[in-house]
Chain A
Amino acid sequence: MTFWEFLFSRGDDFVELGGQHILIVGASLVLATIVGVGLAMLVYRAPAFRELTLAVASVIFTIPSFALLVLLISPLGLSTVNVLVVLTLYGVLPILRNAVVGLRGTDPAALESAKGIGLTPAQQFWNVRVPLAWPVILAGLRVASLMLIAIATLGYTVLGPGYGEFIFTGLYRVGTPVALNLVIAGLLGVVLVGVLSEALFTILRRLTVPQSLS
Chain B
Amino acid sequence: MIDDALIAFEGVTKTYPGAGRAAISGLDFRIPRGAILTLVGPSGCGKTTTMKMVNRLIEPSSGRISLDGKDVSKVDATALRRSIGYVIQQVGLFPHHTISQNVAAVPRLLGWDKRRTHDRVAELLDLVGVPMSDFGDRYPAQLSGGQAQRVGVARALAANPDVLLMDEPFGAIDPITRVELQGELLRLQREMHKTILFVTHDIDEAVKMGDRIAVFDSNATLAQYDTPDAVLARPASDFVRRFVGDGAALQRLKLRRISDVPLVDFADASADAPRIAGSSTLHQALDALLHSHADHVVVTAVDGGRPVGTLSFDRLRLALREAEGAEREVAR
* 0/1 string, B70-86, CB within 8 A of A gives 1: 00000000111111011
- Chain B: CB-nearest residue to A113: B92
Known A117-B81, A119-B109: A213·B86 in contact at CB below 8 Å: no
**Within residues 44 to 99 of chain A, which ones have a CB less than 8 A from any CB in chain B?**
none
* 0/1 string, B84-107, CB within 8 A of A gives 1: 011010111111110000000110
* B residues at A contact (CB < 8 Å): 55, 57, 78-83, 85-86, 88, 90-97, 105-106, 109, 139-142, 152, 155-156, 165
Collect the chain A residues with CB atoms within 8 Å of residue B95's CB: 107, 110, 132, 212-213
Q: A159 near B: Cβ within 8 Å?
A: no
Known A212-B139, A212-B140: A117·B82 in contact at CB below 8 Å: yes
Asked whether, in the complex, the Cβ of B81 is within 8 Å of the Cβ of A118, the reply is yes
Docked Cα-Cα span, A131 to B109, in Å, equals 17
Known A117-B86, A117-B155, A118-B79: A112·B92 in contact at CB below 8 Å: yes
Asked whether, in the complex, the Cβ of B139 is within 8 Å of the Cβ of A115, the reply is no
Collect the chain B residues with CB atoms within 8 Å of residue A1's CB: none
* A residues at B contact (CB < 8 Å): 107-120, 123, 128, 131-132, 210-213
Docked Cα-Cα span, A125 to B256, in Å, equals 49
Collect the chain B residues with CB atoms within 8 Å of residue A210's CB: 96-97, 139
Collect the chain A residues with CB atoms within 8 Å of residue B156's CB: 117
Docked Cα-Cα span, A16 to B142, in Å, equals 48
Picked from A120, A123, A131, the residue with its CB within 8 Å of the CB of B96 is A131
Collect the chain A residues with CB atoms within 8 Å of residue B86's CB: 113, 116-117
Asked whether, in the complex, the Cβ of B94 is within 8 Å of the Cβ of A211, the reply is no
- Chain B: CB-nearest residue to A111: B92
Known A117-B155, A118-B78, A118-B79: A213·B91 in contact at CB below 8 Å: no
Collect the chain A residues with CB atoms within 8 Å of residue B94's CB: 110, 113-114, 128
Asked whether, in the complex, the Cβ of A211 is within 8 Å of the Cβ of B139, the reply is yes
